[in-house]
Structure 1
Amino acid sequence: MMVAWCTAYLERTGRTCPDFDATLYFDQDEIEAAYLLREKPAPPKATVDQVLSQIVCFGGFLARKRHWDPCAEIIWLGLKGLQVAVKNMRTVRRFGQG
């Protein structure tokens, strides 16, 4: 129930307040991982909409011109992939790269 509420909250925030600072909803590792997985440089001050647009692509959203905004299920699938990437980043950082 809590996961469903959080993803629906992120969906609403991304639509109604897209210019909010992303660090209000994501920690720095999550923002960094979202951009690393998409092989794009992270902006110095990412917004919620910018980070969500990276995350929903992990959930299967194609971001074409005529597609609707991603639903909570797509955000949830993207967040699952993001959490795996964040865990891997933290493990590599903790144990080193070699």
Structure 2
Amino acid sequence: MRLGRTCPDLDAALLFEADEWKAAFILNKKAPPDKLPRLNEVVRLVARLGGFLARNGDGEPGVKTIWLGMQRVVDFAAGIRYARELEEQTCV
């Protein structure tokens, strides 16, 4: 949360695995970008999954909305990894 506020232009890959930041985009019904997104963008997407509305006067997301959104992202990313493993097993 703090890094998203103080260093918003860092690459999201510093704190999120590729499957996690891609899951944040997919769950928000947005196409994952080809290049690495910025940390603040992913933090806000995760927070939206936790109930953050991202209106003009809302400010930055808090700990609880980020935590709730991360629960969804982590579960979805685990599903992506499991589907990838199943696909690899069937191709062998």
TM surpasses 0.5? yes
| Number of residue-to-residue matches in the alignment | 87
**4+ residue runs over 2 A deviation:** none
Indicate the larger mover: 86-95 or 37-46.
37-46
Report Cα offsets for 1:11-67 as digits up to 9, x if no partner.
Answer: 110111000011110111111111111121223121101111110111011111111
Structure 2 unaligned regions, length at least 5: none
What TM-score do you get using the length of structure 2 for normalisation? Answer: 0.87
Counterpart pick for 1:59 among 29, 50, 61: 50
| Alignment root-mean-square deviation, CA | 1.4
Pick the structure with greater CA Rg.
2
What TM-score do you get using the length of structure 1 for normalisation? Answer: 0.82
